[in-house]
Homo-oligomer: A and B are copies of this chain.
Amino acid sequence: MDLTATTTDLANAAAEAVRLLPGRTLDPVLAGLLLTTTDDGVVLAGSDRERAIRLSCSAAVHTPGRVLVPAKPFAETLRALDVPMVRIAVEGARLAVRTPNARFALPLLDADLHPGVPTAPPLAGSVDGDLFVAALTTVAATASRDEALPLFTGVRVRADGDRLVLAATDRYRMAVASLPWTPVAADLDALIPATLLAEVARQARGQVALHVDDNRVGLAWDNSVVTTALLDGSFLSESKLVLSAVDTTVELDADALLAAVRRVALYADSRGVLKIEVGDNEIRLRTADQQAGEAEETLKADVSDGRTSPSFQSRFLIDALKPFSGGRVRLAIQPGMRATVFSSPNAEEVMDLRYMVAPMRPPAT
């Protein structure tokens, strides 16, 4: 193998490969990056058996080849370079990264030991990258990180006609986003690990294509494809988001509420609970703790129907409000231990996002 590439292009591809491969593996072969030349460039591929990635980068290929190198040192070397072009060449048992003044020589690993990188399953459809990223930023963060309950570590991704519906819950709250979808194949209903989708949300751009079969799902954008095994289990239906008992509706500026919640939450008890007292044309946030003291703050709000006043964990409240930053938010409040649903009062949003939070016992006062 001998090729010349634009440094930033190859450095970006290598960095993206390292971020998409979790790198939990102790096996140096699985922590390696397979470099394979093509007619007009090089493909960077890797797999830890569960997740697999494939990125392409254009390059001038002088001698074709296929090698396996340690992924992180390769990416770090490329990132540290400050020259426009870089040459990558096999020299004996080394892969040399060369610039006019420098040579960095990585040990080659045995490419024949690598299990290979599966290709992506058939195309299901595609979605606008910006909307998909915005939806994932909220939904993937709502999934549980508790791997003892794998079901709750996934995001359910489901095609419904010309909408793509993303849903995740950790049992205490649930986020459901719906966005425009261009279907190609008929069916898509997959439970995808949230950790991968959170990483995709940091990197995807342009149009994102979704590929799926019975066992694997693939996400493709730009010159990148990442595939992963699906999670097992039937996710609880997001249609459970029933709002039959809503008796109080509050509407106000999301950022004002977010800032007030952050202030008042400084005085929350050990459970972190904050009460929203609903009044006439205002709401009052209230916390109290024997040690920390107590806090309250009043905000103007449009209140309709009843005066049901729920309490929440303040960190869940903050997560529920963040996606509505920059606009207004509507709280549909139900009595008793039923959830409150946060949504945008603006019916013209391209992406429909609903965030449901379960109430808590109020703070002692």
Residues of chain A at the chain B interface (Cβ within 8 Å): 73, 76-77, 80-82, 94, 101-107, 259-260, 262-264, 266-267, 291-299
B263 with A80: CB separation less than 8 A: yes
A102 with B293: CB separation less than 8 A: no
B259 with A293: CB separation less than 8 A: no
Which one of B77, B267, B295 lies within 8 Å of A263 (CB-CB)? B77
Cβ-closest 3 pairs across A and B: A102-B297, A80-B263, A104-B295
A76 with B295: in contact, given A82-B259, A102-B260 (CB under 8 Å)?
A: no
Expressed in whole angstroms, the minimum distance between the Cβ of A299 and any Cβ of chain B is 7
Q: 25 pairs across A/B with beta carbons < 8 Å?
A: A73-B266, A73-B292, A73-B293, A76-B266, A77-B263, A80-B262, A80-B263, A80-B266, A82-B259, A94-B293, A101-B297, A101-B298, A102-B263, A102-B295, A102-B296, A102-B297, A103-B297, A104-B263, A104-B266, A104-B267, A105-B267, A105-B293, A105-B294, A106-B292, A107-B293
A101 with B299: CB separation less than 8 A: yes
B102 with A264: CB separation less than 8 A: yes
A296 with B259: CB separation less than 8 A: no
In the complex, what residues of B have CB within 8 A of residue A101's CB?
297-299
| Cα separation A82 to B292 with both chains bound (whole Å) | 21
A266 with B299: CB separation less than 8 A: no
- Name which residue of chain B comes closest to A93, CB basis: B293
| Cα separation A264 to B104 with both chains bound (whole Å) | 8
In the complex, what residues of B have CB within 8 A of residue A102's CB?
260, 263-264, 295-298
A266 with B77: in contact, given A82-B259, A293-B94 (CB under 8 Å)?
A: yes
Expressed in whole angstroms, the minimum distance between the Cβ of A113 and any Cβ of chain B is 17
| Cα separation A80 to B295 with both chains bound (whole Å) | 13
Expressed in whole angstroms, the minimum distance between the Cβ of A35 and any Cβ of chain B is 15
Expressed in whole angstroms, the minimum distance between the Cβ of A49 and any Cβ of chain B is 24
| Cα separation A299 to B99 with both chains bound (whole Å) | 12
In the complex, what residues of B have CB within 8 A of residue A77's CB?
263, 266, 295
| Cα separation A263 to B76 with both chains bound (whole Å) | 8
B263 with A81: CB separation less than 8 A: yes
- Name which residue of chain B comes closest to A299, CB basis: B101
A293 with B106: CB separation less than 8 A: yes
| Cα separation A102 to B101 with both chains bound (whole Å) | 63
In the complex, what residues of B have CB within 8 A of residue A293's CB?
73, 94, 104-107
| Cα separation A264 to B73 with both chains bound (whole Å) | 11
| Cα separation A104 to B263 with both chains bound (whole Å) | 9
In the complex, what residues of B have CB within 8 A of residue A73's CB?
266-267, 292-293
| Cα separation A103 to B296 with both chains bound (whole Å) | 5
| Cα separation A105 to B94 with both chains bound (whole Å) | 66
- Name which residue of chain B comes closest to A263, CB basis: B80
| Cα separation A292 to B107 with both chains bound (whole Å) | 7
Expressed in whole angstroms, the minimum distance between the Cβ of A321 and any Cβ of chain B is 15
B107 with A291: CB separation less than 8 A: yes
In the complex, what residues of B have CB within 8 A of residue A82's CB?
259
Q: Assuming A82-B259, A104-B266, what are 5 further A-B pairs, CB within 8 angstroms?
A: A73-B267, A73-B292, A101-B298, A105-B267, A106-B293
In the complex, what residues of B have CB within 8 A of residue A262's CB?
80
- Name which residue of chain B comes closest to A267, CB basis: B104
| Cα separation A298 to B99 with both chains bound (whole Å) | 10
- Name which residue of chain B comes closest to A77, CB basis: B266
